[in-house]
Amino acid sequence: MTDLTTLYLGHTLVNPLIVSSSPVTRDLDLVKKAEDAGAAAFVLHSLFEEQIEAESLDLHHHLEAGTESFAEATSYFPDMRAYNTGPDGYLEQLRKVKAAVGVPVFASLNGTSVGGWVRYARLVQDAGADGVELNVYDIPTDPAASAQRVEDGLMELVRAVRREITVPLAVKLSPFYTAPVNLLARLKDAGAAAAVLFNRFYQPDLNIDELDVVPHLKLSHSDELLTRLHWVGVAYGRVPIELAVTGGVHTARDVIKCVMAGASTAMLTSALIRHGVGYLSHILTDLRHWMAEKEYASVGQMRGALSLGKVPDPAAFERGNYMRVLRQGVGPSW
């Protein structure tokens, strides 16, 4: 029998598939269907710092703008007034999801400063969260803010939250830090048990007719997985922190790549929005078939098989691959 179990944030999961932070977890029927289809855990939709501080009253307008351009997003991304029920509503939804499923449920806190995060980290723990994911959606725009200052602020936040809670802590990162492997080591030292790679920024477009900046929602695709695989593969076995992949996981082959790079889990949102939560069972079926065909008895046996830790000098290996790609070129014009 193929063993799909994996360890993440102190829990043994029945397989590596986690439903990541999204509006899916606002609907109890969808949550139950996802568990029936094979979801091993859930990350609840995020509680935003702006909700905690009761600021940015027009945030829903900016995040909602442009969704009409993407039919696939409109039915899953409600306006912020409906999506963000506020801190009390969030805690109540967490309790309901915990009562509805038998798998771990992790809370998600989305912000950039210590602020009310510490207090609400404790509250989500008390409401039953099996772990906390800090979704650090930070866009430094101050010319005086150095990379060191940004990273030090993140460590301060992680240490403050770690002191306040006893459940495991994960940090969801952007791909734009200057030295990701060093950052992961610092996060581990600060008290994080896991890192989630990487957050997807919703890049703004420019409306040149209305002179406006218009964010819009665009679902991910498998090509986005490459950056995640790169850094998971570099870090696995070299930094003692659990690694999860989010952004670009759509097929069983994507999940296999995540695990073989070194990830403990693979998180999905866009694939479930496109195909429905029942699609999880299709991924699991394909995963089992591939493992049986390749004679892998367990996910643990696969993990890290293609990580850079398998080579003596990862930096030299990376440069060698870079030169190899350049030599191969992309077509006759080269």
Mean pLDDT of 181-190: 97
Q: Using CA of residue 54, residue 57, residue 62, residue 68, what is the dihedral sign?
A: positive
- 326 assigned to some structural domain: no
DSSP 310: G
Burial class (CB within 10 angstroms; exposed 0-12, middle 13-18, buried 19+) of 177: middle
The residue among 323 and 165 whose pLDDT is bigger is 165
Tell whether the model's pLDDT for residue 113 goes beyond 80: no
Q: What is d(CA 233, CA 125) in angstroms, rounded to the nearest whole number?
A: 31
From residue 272, give the alpha-carbon distance in Å to each of 76, 92, 97, 165, 203.
10, 24, 18, 31, 21
- 170 assigned to some structural domain: yes
Question: In sequence order, what are the residues at sequence separation of 6 or more whose Cβ sits closer than 8 angstroms to the Cβ of residue 187?
Answer: 154, 155, 158, 171, 195, 241
> Residue 13: which CATH number?
3.20.20.70
Q: What is the pLDDT of residue 214?
A: 79
Of 231, 157, 236, 243, the closest CA to residue 196 belongs to 243
- 64 assigned to some structural domain: yes
- 19 assigned to some structural domain: yes
- 150 assigned to some structural domain: yes
Yes or no: say if 104 and 11 are a contact pair by the CB < 8 Å rule.
Answer: yes
CB count in 10 Å sphere of residue 281: 15
- 24 assigned to some structural domain: yes
Q: Is 153 helix (H, G, I), strand (E, B) or coil?
A: helix
Q: Which of 25-34, 94-103, 219-228 has the lowest mean pLDDT?
A: 219-228
Per the listing, tokens 């932070």 go with: 21
CA atoms within 13 A on the CB side of 7: 8
Model confidence pLDDT, tens digit, residues 193-249 = 999 999 877 667 788 888 888 776 678 888 889 999 999 999 999 999 999 999 999
Pairing relationship of beta strands 11-13 and 6-8 according to DSSP bridges: antiparallel
- 177 assigned to some structural domain: yes
- How many helices and strands (H and E) does the chain possess? 15, 12
- In b/e form, how buried is each residue of 131-163, taking b as 16+ CB within 10 angstroms? bbbbbbbbeeeeeeeeeeebbebbbebbebbbe
Per the listing, tokens 């501080």 go with: 53
Residue 11 zone, left/alpha/beta (φ > 0; ψ -120 to 50; rest): beta
Q: What is the pLDDT of residue 319?
A: 67
Q: What's the mean per-residue pLDDT of the chain?
A: 85
The total domain count for the chain is 1
Token pair for 27? 């609907």
- Which domain covers residue 19, as residue numbers? 6-308
Mean pLDDT of 49-56: 57
- 322 assigned to some structural domain: no
Yes or no: say if 202 and 216 are a contact pair by the CB < 8 Å rule.
Answer: yes
Name the pLDDT band for 99 (thresholds 50, 70, 90): very high
